[in-house]
């Protein structure tokens, strides 16, 4: 009898822990909101309504906000899988956006198809080029990539500032932004009447492709081995893990570069100084929450996109100021991590 009770308790434990974590975090978030004089019910209601209230909201707000996070999340995961700690997705994103914009506005006479291919290639090359310096310093000089990729972010930020204030400034020469890219270079909406652009589809295809590559191909296996145990890889004598790391790192930069250009081609139509609010950094949370699994990154990015879209609605419809919104979002992300951790611990306990 007593054993039975113990067994039930043990069976419930993996469920109870994450549920408790989620409930506790929601309670803390609600208390914080109430402390600020905001109705938690209104605030959470607005959050859910803003992100999932209608198909159009889900497509036009949540998925549009998820797109750059999906792409940068994949970029981070590709590098992390191979054991390269690329903290530079932010800079690679900006470099890709700059390369794409520079090409698009200087080549307006190109046909849509040519321009599409050329700008995507330029953006990927721009992002990859931004990863080259950290790769070279890592492999030639042994300088840790965490610091070099981080520093390259600042270089990209200032380069973007310089370019939109100078050589790439709009032809009126007034505001700090580029000219609008030609219509041929812009990504069309996936569904008429919504804002969701083809960039999200690119992200989905990329996620699917990476998933297959990582799990089904020898190349993907080598990446995983190189990341999990480079010494085992060397000992196997079958491939050079350093080479695999270099290529993964380069691919990571290229994907982040695509993220930047897709944001310009699908949403803004121009390059601004403040194009990214830090997607390249949020991407690390997106990728880690998904445990670097390309399929899970899609879900993780949509969750973050929903928080972003719902956060806007919290401001508009519940009158919660930006700072409280971001605080609540951070708490919810922590709760998700706690839940995830709880399930993971539970599943390990089972095996």
Partner 1 sequence: MISGSTKQWRAQRHRIACWTATAVAACGGPSADGSDNPDPAGSSPSVALLTSGPVSDAGWHAGAYEGLQRIGDSLGWRISHQQTRTPAEFDEAFISYAEAGYGLVFGHGFEYQDAAERAAAQYPDATFVVSSGSRAAANLVPLIFRLEEAAYLAGMAAGGVSRAGVVGMVGGVEIPPAKGTFLAFGAGVAAVNPEATVLETFTGSWDDVAAAKEAASAQLRRGADVLIHNVDAASFGVFQAVREAREQRGRAWAFGMNRDQNAVAPEVVVGSAVIDIPALFLQAAVAWHEGSLRGAPRAGLASGAVDFVPNPALADVVPADVEARIAQARRDIASGALEVPRIRYLEEDTLPAASPVQPPPN
Return residues touching partner 1 (CB under 8 A).
Answer: 50, 60-61, 64-65, 165, 172, 174-177, 180, 195, 263, 267-270, 272, 274-277, 308-309, 312-313, 315-317, 319, 321-323
In eight-state DSSP terms, residue 61 is: I
- Range 308-330 burial, b when 16+ CB lie within 10 A, else e: bbbbbbbbebbebeeebbebbbe
Q: Which is nearer to partner 1, 286 or 309 (CB)?
A: 309
Q: Which is nearer to partner 1, 84 or 104 (CB)?
A: 104
Q: Which is nearer to partner 1, 172 or 231 (CB)?
A: 172
- Range 166-177 burial, b when 16+ CB lie within 10 A, else e: eebbbeeeeebb
Non-local (6+) Cβ contacts of 91 within 8 A are: 130, 149, 152, 153, 154, 155, 156, 157, 280
What value does the CA radius of gyration of the chain take, rounded to a whole number of Å? 22
Smallest separation, CB 312 to partner 1 (Å): 6
The closest of 120, 112, 81, 147 to 263, measured between CA atoms, is: 120
Smallest separation, CB 232 to partner 1 (Å): 43
Smallest separation, CB 127 to partner 1 (Å): 19
- Range 64-89 burial, b when 16+ CB lie within 10 A, else e: bbbbbbbbbbbbbbbbbbbbbbbbbb
Smallest separation, CB 64 to partner 1 (Å): 6
Non-local (6+) Cβ contacts of 287 within 8 A are: 73, 74, 76, 77, 80, 297, 300
Q: Which is nearer to partner 1, 92 or 148 (CB)?
A: 92
Q: Which is nearer to partner 1, 5 or 193 (CB)?
A: 193
How many angstroms separate the CA atoms of 160 and 234, rounded? 40
Q: Which is nearer to partner 1, 195 or 219 (CB)?
A: 195
Smallest separation, CB 350 to partner 1 (Å): 42
The closest of 104, 137, 135, 100 to 121, measured between CA atoms, is: 100
Q: Which is nearer to partner 1, 82 or 271 (CB)?
A: 271
Q: Which is nearer to partner 1, 208 or 277 (CB)?
A: 277
What is the residue-wise DSSP string for 291-324?
TT-HHHHHHHHHHHHHHHHHHHHHHHHH---HHH
Smallest separation, CB 52 to partner 1 (Å): 14
CA 290, 299, 221, 137 dihedral sign is negative
Smallest separation, CB 234 to partner 1 (Å): 44
Smallest separation, CB 93 to partner 1 (Å): 12
């Amino acid at each position: 009898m007593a054993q039975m009770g113990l067994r039930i308790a043990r069976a419930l434990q993996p469920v109870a822990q994450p549920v408790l974590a989620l409930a506790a975090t929601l309670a803390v978030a609600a208390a914080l909101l109430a402390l600020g004089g905001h109705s938690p019910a209104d605030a959470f209601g607005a959050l859910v309504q803003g992100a999932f209230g209608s198909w159009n909201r889900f497509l036009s707000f949540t998925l549009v906000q998820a797109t750059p996070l999906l792409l940068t999340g994949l970029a981070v995961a590709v590098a992390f899988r191979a054991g390269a700690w690329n903290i530079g997705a932010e800079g690679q994103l900006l470099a890709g956006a700059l390369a794409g914009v520079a090409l698009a506005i200087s080549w307006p006479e190109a046909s849509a198809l040519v321009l599409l291919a050329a700008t995507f290639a330029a953006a990927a090359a721009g992002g990859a080029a931004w990863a080259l310096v950290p790769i070279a310093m890592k492999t030639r000089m042994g300088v840790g990539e965490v610091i070099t990729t981080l520093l390259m972010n600042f270089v990209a930020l200032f380069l973007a500032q310089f370019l939109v204030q100078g050589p790439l400034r709009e032809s009126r020469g007034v505001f700090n932004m580029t000219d609008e890219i030609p219509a041929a270079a812009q990504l069309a909406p996936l569904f008429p009447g919504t804002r969701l652009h083809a960039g999200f589809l690119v992200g989905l295809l990329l996620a699917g492709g990476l998933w297959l590559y990582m799990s089904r191909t020898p190349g993907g296996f080598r990446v995983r081995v190189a990341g999990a145990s480079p010494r085992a890889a060397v000992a196997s004598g079958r491939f050079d893990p350093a080479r695999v790391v270099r290529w993964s790192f380069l691919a990571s930069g290229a994907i982040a570069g695509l993220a930047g250009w897709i944001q310009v081609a699908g949403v803004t139509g121009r390059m601004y100084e403040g194009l990214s609010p830090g997607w390249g950094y949020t991407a690390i949370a997106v990728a880690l929450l998904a445990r670097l699994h390309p399929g899970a990154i899609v879900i993780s990015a949509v969750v973050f996109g929903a928080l972003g879209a719902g956060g806007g609605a919290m401001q508009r419809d519940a009158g919660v100021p930006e700072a409280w919104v971001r605080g609540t979002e951070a708490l919810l992300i922590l709760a998700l991590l706690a839940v995830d951790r709880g399930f993971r611990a539970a599943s390990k306990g089972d095996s």
